[in-house]
Amino acid sequence: MFDTMTMTKIVGGVGSALLIFLLGSWVADALYSTGSGGHGETEMAAGDDATEGHTETAAVEEGPAFEELYASADLGAGEKLFKKCKACHKLEAGGTSTGPSLFGIVGRDVATIDGFGYSGTMAELGGAWTPERLDEFLIKPKDMVPGTKMTFAGFKKPAQRANLIAYLATIGG
């Protein structure tokens, strides 16, 4: 049947394949999410660089008004939070990826990047992306714009949304 050396090679091959799969999974999680649900479910204090809210039943935290949070936003924390967005969005003018460019998003009219294929509901939304409107959208995009192509479930913490929006306001604004 099998000698000891053949059995050792088989067990070693299977073990190596499993190890490579596990390492690949860890690398993918590190690049594309911070938790098992994606787009970050890591529990951290408000304003930290991890995002929350990829669960379908994520509740929004109550606290200070958005205007207060936005006025005292931490741009550095917002820049760190953008790392969660850059898998789908670019900050360069006119650059699109899976999602449209976020260059100049704060104050820009909704669904106006030429050449990007917006969902029908997003194209019909109209208006401009004010900081308050972005805050509402980023709580849970599919609640505000049913049918949006954006699969991100939202940021649960108001301070995180305010930090990210304040950072985005400095890009091309």
Whole-structure pTM value: 0.64
Helix (H, G, I), strand (E, B) or coil at 142: helix
First-last CA distance in the chain: 72
Rounded Cα distance between 111 and 32, Å, is: 25
Inter-residue contact 105 to 134 (CB < 8 Å):
yes
Rounded Cα distance between 115 and 84, Å, is: 24
CATH superfamily of the domain spanning 38-169: Cytochrome c-like domain (1.10.760.10)
pLDDT in tens, 106-133: 999 999 988 889 999 999 999 999 999 9
Q: In which band, very low, low, confident or very high, does the pLDDT at 2 lie, cut at 50, 70 and 90?
A: confident
pLDDT in tens, 53-109: 333 334 445 678 999 999 999 999 999 999 999 889 999 887 788 899 999 999 999
Query: Could you tell me the residue ranges of all domains in the chain?
Result: 1-32, 38-169
Is the pLDDT confidence value at 153 over 60? yes
Rounded Cα distance between 39 and 163, Å, is: 16
- Which residue carries 């998003």 as its tokens? 105
